[in-house]
Amino acid sequence: MMNIDEIQVAEETLNSAVPKGPIHEKWDQHRFEMKLVSPANRRKFTIIVVGSGLAGASAAASLGEMGYNVHCFFYQDSARRAHSVAAQGGINAAKNYRNDGDSIFRLFYDTVKGGDYRSREANVYRLAQVSNAIIDQCVAQGVPFAREYGGLLANRSFGGAQVSRTFYARGQTGQQLLLGAYQALQRQAHAGTVKLYPRTEMLDLIIINGRAQGIVTRNMVTGELKTYLGDAVVLATGGYGNAYFLSTNAKGSNATAIWRAYKRGAYFANPCFVQIHPTCIPPSGEHQSKLTLMSESLRNDGRIWVPRRAGDTRPPNEIPEEERYYYLEEKYPSFGNLVPRDVASRNAKAVVDAGHGVGELRNGVYLDFKDAIQRLGKEVIKDRYGNLFDMYTSITGEDPYETPMRIYPAVHYTMGGLWVDYNLMSNIPGLFVIGEANFSDHGANRLGASALMQGLADGYFILPYTLANYLAQAGPGDAEMSHSAVKDAQLFVQDKIDKLLSVNGKRSVLHFHRELGKVLWDFVGMARNDEGLRHALKRIPEIRAEFWEDVRVPGSAADLNQSLELAGRVADFLELGELLALDALYRTESCGAHFREESQTEEGEALRDDENFSFVSAWEFTGDDQTPRLHKEPLVFEYVKLSQRSYK
């Protein structure tokens, strides 16, 4: 069991390897100074990329184009189905096409502020810098972004910004960006530079002589365990939101790859920074297997309200205007319905907790399009959000053109992840982590339309340089199949599978996953406090122990076995959940999505404690059931002025 009182803090702070110089020159200067691998030598290097989402596909395709020998692994049957496909709303870039005052510096500033000052300035600046090239690249690939009648690209606005900088492809932006990257990846598969491994799960990381040099995988069709060795390993395996059981993530999204890397020595940063998205369809009962996001872009035209009187059960159209409480518009006149996600979510929780909830289970708030339909006409709204409205109708059986949508917050995105330096390399040499899987540029809260930007920035424009720099200096790896670390990892994987199949208890994996999810949601969710977190820290190891005593995993290892796949993932969530709670307990300040009830302003906003918590928490594994060691990366702000975020 992890114990808050036993936490040891490493004396030396982490080195983020941020280059010297003014912020706007760092990346250019660094690119010039980094070492290169000559075209003729590239094919001698084998690079393992795990993940085919925006981050993994863009990285694997770009590295293939450059001439490296790339292996790309993913658990779906096709790279095109990676979870990035589900992103709806859009992708940010600092193009300033609207001439409304946007700039690289403003995108950088908004992102640092939106993240409540818990991200690394230099990384965020670079992200804003490369954002424009992403749009160029995607358009050239044939991504059909929305356009104006004059033929130029259209934009919309998103929460946390006062400029219109979001590019979109109807409500399917993630799908279209992913298809662009997927097609680039297929081109490389055709060219023979990238080899694809569908329906293949990474189950362990191999470190030899202090350097990441391989992975152990399971073929999900045949059950065969296989080891792949390479000169570097790139993890692009997405976020761990599914630890909460109910989330907007795809059912297969998992933490196994990054969790195994953590247990092999990679530091896990800010695990408690979990974003709860304000606009999802509320759960409808016990059968619920996942939650569906209604894109945040809806907040551009929809107005959020609840009945002013608690316990008012009248249908929405019978509640007169003056008895409706447009709580975001009233509390935050300048941002209104477009406040950042954490603020919108907490306010929804507050009104529902106070008895204003709507719907049969009283577990939602209204998102109303009546005014927008009156102002713009049904056709315009249909053009903007048609597919989202259809999706809402098919799930709830209600028609949002006629009656307001019901929404409620749900777990959506994880800002935490494996710690990486400026070069996107973890503390383990040769292990790179990109996309949602790293602890990212979003601090304690991610702004809408910035995850797609980050995934593609990492994969197309940053990793190809920094990985080359690493390979040029480290040279080829020295891994051999006969090495004891290889055997060790293989044995570990085999052993875990055998154990899962042999418990032969009474309860299903799903049962334990639900139970873990409930503890995390109730005590490590939208609002956290000392008592609740201590309870979670006690309860999670208990559930874990019950899991290993009483889980039933049917079927065999030498076959397609979905129960076994899930069991392995849930076993990891049961460990990760505990670290999540520990991190949340340790950080007694509130910041962004991490809201400690003990630390709030008079108005109920998240109150940071910059003096004591202006750092990244990076946890080092010290053994099963042991309290991990804490490493800190101090956050220094030279360009952004720290202030209490205000969206009033």
Partner 1 sequence: MKLHLKIWRQKNAQDPGGFVDYDLDGVSPDSSFLEMLDLLNEELIAKGQEPVAFDHDCREGICGMCSLMINGVPHGQDREPIKQITACQLHMRHFRDGETVVIEPWRARAFPVIKDLIVDRSAFDRIIQAGGYISVSTGSAPEANAIPIGKKDADKAMDAAACIGCGACVAACPNASAMLFVGAKVAQLSYLPQGQIERYDRVVNMVNAMDAEGFGGCTNTGECEAACPKEISLDFIARMNSELIKANLKGGR
Residue corresponding to tokens 């929460």 = 159
Please say whether the beta carbons of 378 and 399 come within 8 A: no
Q: How far is the CB of 61 from partner 1 (least distance, A)?
A: 7
Query: Would you say 168 or 439 has its CB closer to partner 1?
Result: 168
370: enclosing H helix or E strand:
helix 370-376
Strands (E), 308-418: 324-325, 365-368, 405-414, 417-418
Query: Would you say 167 or 615 has its CB closer to partner 1?
Result: 167
Phi, psi of 75, deg, nearest 5:
-90, -20
47, 82, 338, 424: which one contacts ligand FAD (CB under 6 A)? 82
Applying CB under 6 A, the site for ligand FAD has a residue count of 44
Mark 174-193 with x for binding to ligand FAD (rule: CB under 6 A) and - for no binding.
x-------------------
Coil, strand, or helix at residue 431? strand
Q: How far is the CB of 611 from ligand FAD (least distance, A)?
A: 31
CA torsion through residues 37, 459, 258, 620, sign: positive
Coil, strand, or helix at residue 212? strand
- 3-62 positions binding ligand FAD, by CB under 6 A: 50-56
Query: Would you say 63 or 582 has its CB closer to partner 1?
Result: 63
Q: How far is the CB of 350 from ligand FAD (least distance, A)?
A: 24
Q: Given the residues 106, 118, 165, 341, select the one marked as catalytic.
A: 341
- The string of DSSP codes covering 85-131 is GG--S-EE----TT-SS--HHHHHHHHHHHTTT-S-HHHHHHHHHHH
Phi, psi of 49, deg, nearest 5:
-115, 120
Q: How far is the CB of 276 from partner 1 (least distance, A)?
A: 18
Q: How far is the CB of 281 from ligand FAD (least distance, A)?
A: 11
* Residue 512 binds: one of partner 1, ligand FAD, none (C-beta under 5 to 8 A by kind): none
Of 241, 616, 289, the closest CA to residue 451 belongs to 241
Taking phi first (over 0 means left), then psi (-120 to 50 degrees means alpha), and beta for anything else, what does residue 242 get? alpha
Known catalytic residue at 170: no
Please say whether the beta carbons of 117 and 109 come within 8 A: no
* Residue 254 binds: one of partner 1, ligand FAD, none (C-beta under 5 to 8 A by kind): ligand FAD
- The string of DSSP codes covering 437-501 is GB--S-TTSPPTT-HHHHHHIIIIIIHHHHHHHHHHHH-S----TTSHHHHHHHHHHHHHHHHHH
- 234-273 positions binding ligand FAD, by CB under 6 A: 236-238, 248-249, 253-254, 256-257
Query: Would you say 288 or 317 has its CB closer to partner 1?
Result: 288
Q: How far is the CB of 535 from ligand FAD (least distance, A)?
A: 28
Q: Pick the stretch among 80-88, 462-470, 580-588, 604-612 that binds ligand FAD (CB under 6 A).
A: 80-88
Do strands 211-219 and 200-208 pair parallel, antiparallel, or not at all (unpaired)? Answer: antiparallel
Q: Cα(74)–Cα(559) distance, rounded to whole angstroms?
A: 18
Q: Cα(334)–Cα(427) distance, rounded to whole angstroms?
A: 42
87, 205, 229, 411: which one contacts ligand FAD (CB under 6 A)? 87
Total residues belonging to the chain: 648
Reading the block at residue 433, the tokens are 């982590």
26, 30, 71, 83: which one contacts ligand FAD (CB under 6 A)? 83
Q: Cα(75)–Cα(82) distance, rounded to whole angstroms?
A: 8
DSSP alpha helices (H): ranges in 192-340?
256-263, 327-331
Query: Would you say 226 or 506 has its CB closer to partner 1?
Result: 506
* Residue 236 binds: one of ligand FAD, partner 1, none (C-beta under 5 to 8 A by kind): ligand FAD
Q: Is 86 in the site for ligand FAD (CB under 6 A)?
A: yes
Mark 358-397 with x for binding to ligand FAD (rule: CB under 6 A) and - for no binding.
----------------------------------------
Please say whether the beta carbons of 362 and 328 come within 8 A: no
Q: How far is the CB of 487 from partner 1 (least distance, A)?
A: 30
Of 336, 341, 252, 327, the closest CA to residue 294 belongs to 341
Q: Is 90 in the site for ligand FAD (CB under 6 A)?
A: yes
* Residue 226 binds: one of partner 1, ligand FAD, none (C-beta under 5 to 8 A by kind): none
Query: Would you say 116 or 565 has its CB closer to partner 1?
Result: 565
CA torsion through residues 304, 307, 312, 316, sign: negative
Q: Return the axis-axis angle of helices 562-586 and 509-523, rounded to nearest 10°.
A: 20
116, 201, 204, 633: which one contacts ligand FAD (CB under 6 A)? 201
* Residue 251 binds: one of partner 1, ligand FAD, none (C-beta under 5 to 8 A by kind): partner 1
Query: Would you say 150 or 320 has its CB closer to partner 1?
Result: 150
* Residue 103 binds: one of ligand FAD, partner 1, none (C-beta under 5 to 8 A by kind): none
Reading the block at residue 384, the tokens are 């903007």
Q: Is 409 in the site for ligand FAD (CB under 6 A)?
A: no
Q: Is 202 in the site for ligand FAD (CB under 6 A)?
A: yes
Q: Cα(478)–Cα(483) distance, rounded to whole angstroms?
A: 10
Please say whether the beta carbons of 52 and 202 come within 8 A: no
Q: Pick the stretch among 31-39, 73-81, 116-124, 264-272 that binds ligand FAD (CB under 6 A).
A: 73-81
* Residue 461 binds: one of ligand FAD, partner 1, none (C-beta under 5 to 8 A by kind): partner 1
Q: Is 340 in the site for ligand FAD (CB under 6 A)?
A: no
Q: Residues 314-319: contacts with CB within 8 Å, 24+ apart?
A: 315/403, 316/358, 316/366, 316/368, 316/403, 316/404, 317/403
Q: Cα(365)–Cα(352) distance, rounded to whole angstroms?
A: 7
Q: Is 137 in the site for ligand FAD (CB under 6 A)?
A: no
* Residue 393 binds: one of ligand FAD, partner 1, none (C-beta under 5 to 8 A by kind): partner 1
* Residue 131 binds: one of partner 1, ligand FAD, none (C-beta under 5 to 8 A by kind): none
* Residue 508 binds: one of partner 1, ligand FAD, none (C-beta under 5 to 8 A by kind): partner 1
Query: Would you say 46 or 76 has its CB closer to ligand FAD?
Result: 76
Interface contacts to ligand FAD, rule CB under 6 A: 50-56, 73-76, 82-84, 86-91, 173-174, 201-202, 236-238, 248-249, 253-254, 256-257, 293, 412-413, 435-437, 449-452, 455
Enzyme catalytic residues: 341
